[in-house]
Each structure stands twice: as structure tokens, then as C-alpha cells.
Chain A
């Protein structure tokens, strides 16, 4: 309860003067004993003057200052982080430019490589096929050795049947630039011919039955490949998809334990003798 205003008359009797002076002294004693009290920093500063005492409420600053200093430290940390982020952003941008240049170079390389591939696709690259490495005859018996090579489909390959009965496949190999593989219509103890012994028409001089590739037409109704056939017919008769298989010998199965094993498929879509070589591997040159 606050102390009321003190009347201040100009003329006082002795008793009135006595009362006035005593009250003044009492109030002065209260004021002299005034206490300054710290209060929460969210409270307002306040002066209270009552019969019980005088107090001055002073908002305490220590907690506020502590929060202020913490905020200041946080601000400085944020500024440091911001500086680091700025520096990192610059580095990332430089790296991004370098990556973009690398990507551009790689895209150029891919475009170059794709431009050099067979025009309508590719045989699975580096498939294992085998060929004879020696051949000859002794006392009327043929003898030969054989080895495996890697091979890819040549761009000028043809599977068409021809005047010699069976088709031929021209294959790039690791051992010789090209090798002519005769298409066979049966399985058995057969060999691919030695390219060096091939005659100018592609037939083998002394091992005419030898061959290394089978062509089988795909039956979309059955979902399987049919019997091996002597090449792909010209014109509309040959329209369809064909599996290309490599024959191995002596039960040596380079891939998957299957003889013959498939290395590619070929599609002839129209009566024109144009073949789409469907690679068994993913085609990196395919359009998205």
C-alpha cells in the first residue's frame, strides 16, 4: 500500500507542525532504508514506497546478458559456417565445371565410339568362339588343333544362303582380323574351318563340312528357337528373328554348359535384306 501524498499547508499550529515534522521524519527513515531488489529481466523497473518500506525493483541483466552472449557466439558460428559454405560453394562450382567438362568429353567419346559401331547394332563383343590353329593330313587322316578366341560381329557380315549351299559369317577375331565361319545345319563333332584354308569363295579346301555357327529361327508362338538352318532366306521368306549360336567341340562349353550357345540374335524386319543385330549385352548407344 503506497503512502498517500502529504498535505503541505503554509500555516501550521504547533501541534500540526509537530505532526508534519514527525511524518516527514518517518518517511525519510523509510526512504533511507530503501532496498534495491533485482527482479526478472522481463519485469519493469519499479519504485515502491509504503509504510512497510521502500523498494526499487531493478530488472536483472545477468540472465539477459548470458542469452545475449550465447546469441552472439551463435551468430559468430553462423558467420563462420556461412564463410565455409561460401568457400565450399565456390569449390563445388569449380568441381561442377570440371565434371561438366569431363561429361562433355565422355559424351564425345561415346558418340565417337557409337558412330564407329556396326550401323544396325552389334554382336555381343568378345564372345568366345574357337577355331582351328593347325590342320593337315597324314596318311589320309586329317589332324588339327583348336583354340578359343574372342570374336565380335563384323559390320559386313551376311547370313544369307548362297550358291555353295550354306551361309557364311564374317567375324573379327583376336587372332586374325577376319575369319569366315561356315553356318552349319547340324550339331556334332564339328570344327570351324581354319581361315587360312578357306578358298576365295569362302569354302574350306579340305574340311568342307566343318563349321562354327548355327542359325535358328525364333518361333514367337512357342517362344523357342527352331532347328538350325542354312542361313537366312533372301526376300520376304526370311523375315523373322534368328538366334546365332556357336558350336563347340569335345563337349567344351565356354558359356553356361550349353552347346551350342547363343551369342547374338539377328532380326530381318522387311523383305529387304537388312538385318538388325540385336546385341545380348546392353547397348550403350541406344537412344533413351
Chain B
């Protein structure tokens, strides 16, 4: 996910675009899901354009 480009002297329109992008990403954050992974794996945070995901190692009994 590309970071939001912040101009040094934004115009009003650019401010509107910034505000739009921040709001959009905030909304993605609000829908972040937590995913279980095998307990030997590492925790991973992924932020994509339309979804945010947190993979957390979780113990699942083998039998």
C-alpha cells in the first residue's frame, strides 16, 4: 500500500483529496480482521487498499 503523498503547500482541492484518502483508509482500519495462523508462524499486519488484516499465531491442538 502506497503511503499518502503529502504536498508541502496543498491547495484546497488537494486537501479535499487528502481528507478523502485518510477517511477511506480509516474506514478500512475499522473493518480490520484478525486471522488465526499456526502457532509456529510470525504475527503479520497487512494493510491493503480495501482491507486490513492482522494474522496472529494461535495454538490449535493437533488432534
Contact = CB atoms under 8 A, between A and B. Distances in A.
B26 A28 contact: yes
Given A14-B12, A18-B15, A61-B57, A28 B22 contact: yes
A17 interface: yes
Given A28-B26, A31-B29, A56-B54, A21 B19 contact: yes
A38 interface: yes
Contact of A36 (B4, B15, B45): B45
A122 B63 CA distance: 76
Interface in A81-114: none
A22 B39 contact: no
Contacts of B39: 61-62, 65
Contact of A25 (B4, B29, B45): B4
Main secondary structure of the interface of B (DSSP, over half): mixed
A29 interface: yes
A29 B3 contact: yes
Interface string B39-63: 1101111010000001111110000
A32 B57 contact: no
B47 A22 contact: no
Interface string A59-95: 0111001001000000000000000000000000000
A131 B25 CA distance: 125
Contacts of A62: 39-40, 57
A28 B3 CA distance: 8
Interface in A18-70: 18, 21-22, 24-26, 28-29, 31-38, 56, 58, 60-62, 65, 68
B7 to A, nearest CB: 9
Size bracket, chain B contacts: 20 to 34
Q: How large is the interface on A (under 10, 10 to 19, 20 to 34, 35 or more residues)?
A: 20 to 34
Of A14, A18, A33, A56, most buried by chain B (CB within 10 Å of CB) is: A18
A31 B25 CA distance: 10
A68 to B, nearest CB: 8
Contact of A56 (B43, B47, B57, B58): B43
Interface of A: 14, 17-18, 21-22, 24-26, 28-29, 31-38, 56, 58, 60-62, 65, 68
Interface of B: 1, 3-4, 6, 10, 12, 15, 18-19, 21-22, 25-26, 29, 39-40, 42-45, 47, 54-59
Given A17-B15, A18-B10, 18 more contacts: A21-B15, A21-B18, A24-B19, A24-B22, A26-B6, A28-B22, A29-B6, A31-B25, A33-B47, A35-B45, A36-B43, A36-B45, A36-B54, A38-B43, A60-B42, A61-B58, A61-B59, A62-B40
